[in-house]
Chains A and B, each alone.
Chain A
Amino acid sequence: MVDSLGIVDAHVHIDPNSRFYTPTPGFIDLLRQMDSLRVQYALCTDHHSLYAGAAAGLAELRKVFEISQGRIYYLGVYDPRKSHECLKAMKSALSWPGFAGIKIHPSFHRIPAEAPSYRAMWEFAAEHGLAVLTHSWSISTHNPDQRYSTPKRFERYIEEFKNVRTVLAHAGGRGNGRAEIIRLLNTYENVYTDIAGDIYCLGLIESLVRSTSSHKILFGSDFPWLDPRSNLARVFLEDVSANVKEKILRSNALYVYQLDKEKV
């Protein structure tokens, strides 16, 4: 059982992905770990949807939300190669409990973030007041597909759709993407970032807080790719104020994804 006030993990996935081994990939594992770490809510995208689009996973994710008693919210994956199918599935989910936004992953789908095929998704998000979570990273020699998700590629849509709360994930990665993210965070009111993933740079939280407004930063883990414990202690232990930590760990995600809206 968790406190009524607790952490929001704004970036998780569920189910096995055979690219890597983990003993604990399922939503029951996630829930157990959320209890252990006193994480109240999570924002989830399932691996199946990342491969096949929102239509493949939304119904299951709704069940997960219900079984979790309203703790594991979910996002619909928009694959620009299956635009109509994804939007149709998400339109159905608009009235479902726990549906909290849209996830895009230009690197995974190998479509550059500025491509015209994303326009329908941005229009849909704007029309329905949905937040958009997107993978973002730096140019990487290890993974050339990261070039599709460098932060500046999102700018044209961010600028055009100023009422869409947009979370550029992973703080831009571990290279030049960081500076681009900071610029976008400081330029556009509707841009946020999360610290999910192995962005384990020394002093990351302090650096982000110094560089931008603390209401722009969300805690995320990237479970089950990574263990939430790798990112959690550093938020509590780094040298920033308790109030800032509270925003990163909870309040910012509540606002961006409009969680707790029913209770407000």
Chain B
Amino acid sequence: MLNYCGKDHRFSFRLELSMTAKWVRERIERYREAVNRLELFDCSLWLGYPEGFPLARELQLDELKKEMENHNIKGGLVSHWLGNTLSAQAGNKVLLARSPMFKAHMYSIWTGLPLYPTDAPPLPGMGTPDKCMRGVRIFPSSHNFILEDWVIGSLCEWLLLHNLPLFVWHTEVTWTSLHRLALRYPNLIIILETQTKKILYHTRVLFALMRECPNIYIETSNFVGSGYIEHTVHEFGAQRLIFGSFLPVNDPFVAIGMIIDSEIHENDKKLIASGNLKRIIREVAI
């Protein structure tokens, strides 16, 4: 029937292609329908130059919106790389300037610093939060502070006052300090992000941390080890997972595919894709 030998293989596949393209088309349709059902709401949308990812390209706001449409992401939380690479204030200023151009259901995550000693504004922890702010991210390692109550406690108190979640990359903290902080502030929602290196090598600690601290949630853009979604849902419940794409560094279909094909209840998929984060930001008091 077919001949896989020799240089003419590209042509010898034509017969098989005519038979198989149908199953490919059917799967494409199935995936598209599944994506449409999810109403994706993304906690990891980024503006600015993605430092450390040489193949990634900086997206302008209009381009980011376009990519969101391309991947059927209905809304989410936008951050700026400058908040990590240059200064918290630089990132926050850009977000302040861009947020009037956000489309509906787009909000911002500001970068935070310890409240003492007092840095120049704009920073979270100073007065009323910006009306578009739905979370605060800290970079303890990059910004040279530690995740201890006597350093970061006053910011945590301010976050609790406004029901704002705290975001942090796993690469920016030590596991013991995160554990201590989560226990010290059990009502503070901490969304642990799986970037910017593999969290795979730390998942024994991660799952132990999740068992100990119900206020730790996991962002999913790099939560890609075999069976992790099912394991988490089974052990801790679907409410502990928050969809994040890490756009434009990552292809959102990676994190989307992990949800679509997971062997969990359809309602749990919806919680992970959007419900959990929407619930969290509904509670934000500004």
- List, in ascending order, chain B residues with CB within 8 A of A246's CB: 17, 20-21, 24
- Cβ of B237 within 8 Å of any chain A Cβ, yes or no, is no
Check if A237 sits within 8 Å of B32, measured CB to CB.
yes
Residues 1-56 of B contacting A (Cβ, < 8 Å)? 1-5, 7, 9-10, 13, 16-17, 19-21, 23-25, 27-28, 31-32, 35, 53-56
User: Taking the nearest CB of chain A, how far is it from the CB of B101, in angstroms?
Assistant: 22
Contact residues on A (Cβ < 8 Å of other chain), bracket: 35 or more
User: Taking the nearest CB of chain A, how far is it from the CB of B9, in angstroms?
Assistant: 5
Among A33, A202, A233, the most chain B Cβ lie within 10 Å of the Cβ of: A202
Tell whether A23 pairs with B227 under 8 Å between CB atoms, given A36-B261, A202-B251, A234-B251: yes
Tell whether A232 pairs with B225 under 8 Å between CB atoms, given A237-B32, A243-B21, A250-B20: no
Assembly CA distance A244 to B35 (angstroms): 21
Check if A261 sits within 8 Å of B4, measured CB to CB.
yes
Assembly CA distance A223 to B27 (angstroms): 21
- List, in ascending order, chain A residues with CB within 8 A of B130's CB: none
Bitwise interface map of A from 191 to 235 toward B, beta carbon under 8 Å scored 1, else 0: 000000010111110000000000100000001111111111110
User: Taking the nearest CB of chain A, how far is it from the CB of B197, in angstroms?
Assistant: 6
Check if B261 sits within 8 Å of A202, measured CB to CB.
no
Contacts A/B (CB < 8 Å), 26 sampled:
A19-B201, A24-B226, A29-B226, A174-B54, A200-B254, A202-B247, A202-B250, A202-B252, A225-B225, A225-B226, A226-B226, A227-B228, A228-B226, A233-B254, A234-B254, A236-B24, A236-B31, A237-B257, A242-B24, A243-B21, A245-B24, A246-B20, A247-B13, A254-B4, A264-B2, A264-B3
- Measuring CB to CB, which residues of chain B are less than 8 angstroms from any residue of chain A? 1-5, 7, 9-10, 13, 16-17, 19-21, 23-25, 27-28, 31-32, 35, 53-57, 67, 197-198, 200-201, 203-204, 207, 222, 224-231, 246-258, 260-263
